[in-house]
Amino acid sequence: MDASKKVSIRRDAPVWVCLALILLLAAFAGRTGLRAVLSFALTVLMIWKVLVPQYLRGWNPVWVGLAITLALTVLIIALVYGFDRR
How much is the pLDDT for 11? 78
Domain ranges of the chain: 31-86
Q: pTM above 0.85?
A: no
Res 4 pLDDT > 70: no
pLDDT for 18-69, tens place per residue?
999 999 999 999 999 999 999 999 999 999 999 999 999 999 999 999 999 9
How far is C-alpha 7 from the chain's CA centre?
A: 31
CA–CA separation, 45 vs 51, rounded Å? Answer: 9
SS3 of 67, please? helix
Res 7 pLDDT > 70: no
80 CB burial (10 A radius; 0-12, 13-18, 19+): middle
How much is the pLDDT for 65? 96
